[in-house]
Amino acid sequence: MFIDFIHSVCPDEGEVLRMSLEHALDYLEKNEAPPYVIVDIGGSPDPIASVRDITGIVPPSVTLLIVGDRQDVDFYRAITHGFGVSEYLYHPLVQNLVVRFFGGIILHGQKFRSAANGGSFVLMTGVRDGVGVSTILANLGWCVAEELKRHTLLVDFNLQASKLGILLNTDNNSGLQAVLETPDRMDGLLIERSTQNISERLHLLAAVGSILNRPRIAPSTSKALIEFVRTKFHFIMAESNWRDGDMYLALLEEAQQLIFVLDPTLISIRETLRAMAALPQGALPTRPIFVLNSYGRPGTLSMDEVCKSLNLKPDVVIPYLPKEFGEAEINGQPLVAHNKQFYNVILQLAQTGLSVHIPGQHDYSGWRGRIAAYFSKFKRK
């Protein structure tokens, strides 16, 4: 994880060294420290002493970022207020969390706006039409809102063919189009009236307009919308086509995470490579997350072929479930609500892409984790 993170935020200067804490202290003492230093003190018998040793070696001008095992607020305050550590994260880590808290400090000298107010904007796009973006987005939003209890807003910027209303069993309206076409009237009341309440925690902002007339939306308008709703929800998840030009680029500037959805076909591989090549330099502090949908569909590529073609392994793999998805769409009920296999995949996507803590998951790294893993064997028997 840290290798990808370092190479993305500082591709020409970043360096990852794998060594024990004692060797890391020795290295920092004998070599000139870079402007930013990330040290993992997980497993240390005395974390406070470890932090004290590190801060005693590196100059005050160095921005120090610490990763460890302690999860209590007293430890966080002690090292940030008492020892001048800029930020601290504890295990288990996911990539999005590291990007939000460490990436903002390294790239901008401060945390991302979303880290301060809690609202995280995730942009999901299909590399081509028909790969299942709307279905995945609807199920992910439902799971995060209903199962993980986070206030969530789904936004579909496809104003000609939005499917989210059908998938979530709600009536179509022109809410989002009304908001985007009248930016001078954009305020809390208009957005509230245009938003559909799927449940207490799940909300939808979409529109189904004319199929012949594609509305012209100024990129600044879509950015203003995301900035406004970010203060109202824990997560804002939007669907947009990467071919939408300026509007897509404007949304990309606001996103903490970009998720590409593809299926195991040659045309999807080609379009994925094109979409990756079209990403502006430095648009995101980390690489996108890749979701491979409909894996195992007859006549499609094998996993080995997909990995070799993309030169990477998909982060999340969704199996081919045609009957289950068809019945869920007809019934207007998210498949994630009653299919355990798909539910587990969506939970993996929530943790990977949204940094959401999954209840009941345990981290078995470090000496505490190994003890927990040992005793968990008896619980499973």
pLDDT digits (tens, 9 = 90+) for 49-64: 999 888 888 887 788 8
Q: How confident is the model at residue 380 (pLDDT cuts 50, 70, 90)?
A: very low
Q: Which residues contact 71 (CB under 8 A, 6 or more apart)?
A: 90
Going by C-alpha positions, the residue among 192, 191, 190, 201 that lies closest to residue 168 is 201
Q: Quick check: 7 pLDDT over 70?
A: no
Q: Which residue has the higher pLDDT, 67 or 217?
A: 67
DSSP 53-69: HHHHHS-TTSEEEEEES
CATH code of 2-93, in short, is 3.40.50.2300
Q: How confident is the model at residue 282 (pLDDT cuts 50, 70, 90)?
A: low
Q: What is the pLDDT of residue 127?
A: 94
Q: Which residue has the higher pLDDT, 77 or 361?
A: 77
Q: Which residue has the higher pLDDT, 217 or 252?
A: 252
- Read off the tokens for 14: 């970043």
What span, in angstroms and rounded, lies between the C-alpha atoms of 88 and 147?
28
Q: Which residue has the higher pLDDT, 60 or 267?
A: 267
**3-state class of 143 per DSSP?**
helix
Q: How confident is the model at residue 137 (pLDDT cuts 50, 70, 90)?
A: very high
Considering 12-21, 74-83, 165-174, 307-316, the range whose residues carry the highest mean pLDDT is: 307-316
- Mean pLDDT, rounded, for 8-28: 72
Q: Which residue has the higher pLDDT, 187 or 96?
A: 187
Considering 75-84, 148-157, 158-167, 290-299, the range whose residues carry the highest mean pLDDT is: 290-299
Q: Quick check: 34 pLDDT over 70?
A: yes
Q: What is the pLDDT of residue 14?
A: 65
Q: What is the pLDDT of residue 359?
A: 64
Q: Which residue has the higher pLDDT, 377 or 327?
A: 327
- Mean pLDDT, rounded, for 261-276: 96
Find where tokens 């195992």 sit.
296
**3-state class of 248 per DSSP?**
helix
List Cα–Cα distances, 198 to 132, 141, 166, 226, 323, in angstroms.
20, 11, 12, 19, 25
Please report which residue ranges of 16-94 form alpha helices under DSSP H: 21-30, 47-57, 73-77
**Is the separation of the CB atoms in 140 and 343 below 8 Å?**
no
Q: Which residues contact 340 (CB under 8 A, 6 or more apart)?
A: none
Report the Cα–Cα distance between both ends of the chain, in Å, rounded: 33
Q: What is the pLDDT of residue 291?
A: 97
Q: Share the mean pLDDT of the chain.
A: 81
Q: Quick check: 259 pLDDT over 90?
A: yes
- Mean pLDDT, rounded, for 108-115: 48
Question: How far from the centroid of its chain's Cα atoms is residue 253's Cα?
Answer: 14
State the sign of the Cα–Cα–Cα–Cα dihedral 18, 314, 10, 366.
Answer: negative
State the sign of the Cα–Cα–Cα–Cα dihedral 138, 122, 286, 93.
Answer: negative
Q: What is the pLDDT of residue 360?
A: 61
Q: What percent of the chain has pLDDT over 70?
A: 81
Q: What is the pLDDT of residue 225?
A: 86
Is residue 92 reached through a cis peptide bond, with omega within 30 degrees of 0 on the bond before it? yes
> What residues does each domain of the chain span?
2-93, 115-354
Going by C-alpha positions, the residue among 286, 293, 358, 337 that lies closest to residue 319 is 293
The domains spanning 2-93 and 115-354 adopt the same CATH topology: yes
What span, in angstroms and rounded, lies between the C-alpha atoms of 344 and 350?
10
Q: Quick check: 363 pLDDT over 80?
A: no
Q: Quick check: 344 pLDDT over 70?
A: yes
Q: Quick check: 377 pLDDT over 60?
A: no
Q: Quick check: 84 pLDDT over 80?
A: yes
List Cα–Cα distances, 212 to 160, 161, 208, in angstroms.
8, 11, 12
- Mean pLDDT, rounded, for 164-191: 78
Q: Which residue has the higher pLDDT, 195 or 17?
A: 195
Q: What is the DSSP letter of 110?
A: S
Q: What is the pLDDT of residue 258?
A: 92
What span, in angstroms and rounded, lies between the C-alpha atoms of 232 and 211?
31
Q: What is the pLDDT of residue 116?
A: 41
Q: What percent of the chain has pLDDT over 90?
A: 30
CATH code of 115-354, in short, is 3.40.50.300
> What are 182-235's pLDDT values in tens digits?
777 777 777 888 888 999 999 998 887 666 666 677 777 888 888 888 888 889
Least confident piece of the model among 71-85, 141-155, 176-190: 176-190
Q: Which helix (H) or strand (E) holds 32?
A: none
List Cα–Cα distances, 10 to 14, 104, 247, 345, in angstroms.
5, 12, 27, 31
Q: Where are the beta strands (DSSP E) in the chain?
A: 36-40, 63-68, 87-90, 120-126, 152-156, 196-197, 202-205, 235-239, 257-262, 289-295, 316-319
